[in-house]
Structure 1
Amino acid sequence: MKNLYLCLFLLISNLAFAQSPRILIVTAHPDDETMFPVTIFKATRELKGSADLALITDASGGYNGLVASSYYGLNMVDSATGRKHLPLIRKKEIMASGEIMGIGNFFFFDQLDDYYNRDEKPYLAGKNWDIKYIETRLDQILRKGNYDFIFCLIPHDGQHAHHKTASISAIRAVQRFAGAKKPVVLGGQSQNKGSSFKFAGLIGYPETNILASAPVFEFDRSASFGEDNKHSYMIVADWVKAAHKSQSGDMNQAMHRGDLETFWYFEINGEAGLNKTKEFFEKINQAGFSKK
């Protein structure tokens, strides 16, 4: 009888995923989600799934909005102005971005967006951020969320310390998760076709190691289709980038760039989640519009 109940549970779970995958995005800053917005858009809009977003910082950094200064009527390249006004402005921008992608819930952790650096150690040690609060909050969200996937940025050595800390925190939260349905955690980024980028793990953090047997999963958002091949999903990425007006410098450089949304499969997921992940990306690539 127990085996029968288990089979029924697995069948129901598989059917539920096939109809509505649930995703949690864990990032450090508003605009980090521009690395993989089309995958989220397709999951929510075309696969009828759902997505939530956990934002680690208070978004008070990022003073590169020279053109945005005219739009907001503020000096967006001044740090004092930014510290005062950017938290509210950038939260509004991430919510506008989230409306495009179909984000259901936002979780704001409000850790200080202090300065650009690549040393994640003070953040993970709790010196620069309240890491215990971050861990407790992520644990609560995972327990309640019933997620199939957790998306974070690839924590490679050249990344901002905030990005690495957010991603490592997400991976560790999945490691701690003791529920029946363990989510698969993936590291994502956008890149151009033919890129030579490789990632096997961040030295000193074995939890970031990539499963060697797993493929790099991807969606080509630049592929053209429709009338005169003038359509592509790149427009969705541009819609999302355009929502981040306060970051007019960075977004100007990023607009209509990055052909692929790519995802690395962490070793902590084990082999068990591979089929589920392959099925998800097969559906992502088959759903919606495609080149005929």
Structure 2
Amino acid sequence: MKKATHALGFVLLFVFFCYQSYSQGPKVLIITAHPDDETMFPVTVFKVTHEMKGTADVALITDGSGGYNGLVASSYYGKNMTDSATGRTYLPLIRKKELLCSGEVMGIRNFYFFDQIDDFYQMNPEPFLSGERWDMNYCEKKLDKILEQGKYDFIFCLVPDAGQHAHHKTASIMALRAAQRFKGADKPIVLGGRSASKDYSFRFTELENYPETRISSKAPVFYFDRSYGFGENNKHSYMIVADWVKACHKSQSGDMNAAMHKGDLETFWYFEINGDLNIERTRAFFEQLKSSGFPTK
């Protein structure tokens, strides 16, 4: 009898905890390397801020100056957006404005700009994590302060798989390490996101040499189906929100053109550092996400 009472008490406590956590809406911090990285999961953020009455902030690590690949954007901005010198001069401001546009769609509350150099495409995160290329002492102190003040429920970053840009890997490792350093009672749950088609075959367990990136074998891959149709003749879906966000990043006209109206799912991998007890809390979050606004499966 005592065991049954204790079990019931635990369940009630868990339900109460979840209610307390989200009675004011979940709080999310997005930590990414480049303006436009948030296009991997914009609908999840949109639903948090608009339909779950939560909040979302962005911590952007680089200045975005390396994204000089906008051929059509050259006509739009009246500058050669494929030229490195032009990009280094104008892209930091242009891409901040584009992120503000994206953030208006998603309902972003605060933007934190770290302005680390968006140098060039490479695969090794170590020059950045070691402080050789980025001011890691500054970044870590700033992230710690943001987490302390924000009291976030979740941190969204990109899945740091081996094929990713070094900047993406570094930003995600920074997010994981910041969560590990957090001194508060409730550590934020860190999720690695990416968009995918419904028949995706991508698998991820961890980034070699970085054990903090290990995925929990006990958790599912959480997801939101942004292509699910509803309303009149099922012609409505949340894909339009993703397209609105992508359209803001005009300087990246090549990448955004290829990405437009693609990626049915916003998928999220659950890191082992979050602990087993937070799996159900994360599951409850995604169930609430799917049932809010215009319900999807």
Question: Is the structural similarity TM-score above 0.5?
Answer: yes
2:140–2:174 contact (8 Å) kept in structure 1: yes
Give the residue type in structure 2 aligned to 1:112. I
Q: Distance in 1 between matches of 2:296 and 2:50?
A: 19
Task: Give 1:56's match in structure 2, choosing from 46, 61, 72.
Answer: 61
- Find the partner of 1:169 among 160, 166, 174: 174
Q: Is the 8 A contact 2:18 2:281 kept in 1?
A: no
Match of 2:266 in 1: 261
Is residue 288 from structure 1 mapped to residue 297 from structure 2 by the alignment?
no
Counterpart-to-counterpart distance in 2, 1:180 and 1:250: 41
Q: Which residue of 2 aligns with 1:183?
A: 188
Q: Helix, strand or coil for the counterpart of 2:102? A: helix
Alpha-carbon distance in 1 for matches of 2:21, 2:211: 32
Change (3 A) 1:291 1:111: closer
Asked if structure 2 preserves the Cα contact closer than 8 Å seen for 1:119 and 1:161, the reply is: yes
Post-superposition shift, 1:133?
Answer: 1.0
- Partner AA of 1:182 in structure 2: K
CA 1:13/1:278 → structure 2, altered by over 3 Å: closer, same or farther? Answer: closer
Q: Which residue is 2:160 aligned to?
A: 155
Displacement of 1:204 in angstroms is 0.5
1:93-108 to 2 correspondence within 5 Å? Answer: 93-108=98-113
Deviations 1:186-212 (A, max 9, x none): 000000011110001101011000010
Structure 1 runs, 4 residues or longer, greater than 4 Å off: 10-13
Q: Distance in 2 between matches of 1:209 and 1:22?
A: 24
How far the C-alpha of 1:64 sits from its partner, in A, is: 1.2
Q: Offset of 1:13 from its aligned partner? A: 7.2
Which residue number corresponds to residue 121 of structure 1? Answer: 126
Aligned length: 286
Matches within 5 A, 1:138-287: 138-287=143-292
SS at match of 2:269: strand
Amino acid of the structure 2 residue aligned with 1:130: D
In 2, are the aligned partners of 1:210 and 1:264 still within 8 Å (CA)? yes
CA RMSD of aligned residues (A): 1.7
* CA offset digits 1:150-198 (Å, max 9, x no partner): 0000000000000000000000000111101211000000000111100
State the secondary structure of the residue aligned to 2:254: helix
Aligned: 1:20 with 2:32: no
Indicate yes or no: 2:133 matched with 1:131. no
Structure 1 pair 136–274 and aligned structure 2 pair: CA distance change class (3 A): same
Q: Measured at CA, do residues 63 and 99 of structure 1 come closer, stay the same or move farther in structure 2, by a change above 3 Å? A: same
Please report the TM-score for the alignment, with normalisation by the length of structure 1: 0.95
Comparing 281-290 with 111-120, which one deviates more in the overlay?
281-290
Gaps of 5+ in 1: 1-6
- Matches of 1:12 and 1:265, distance apart in 2: 20
CA distance in 1, matches of 2:250, 2:62: 18
Structure 1 residue 128 displacement after superposition: 0.6
Conservation of the 8 A alpha-carbon contact between 1:226 and 1:291 = no
Aligned to 1:3: none
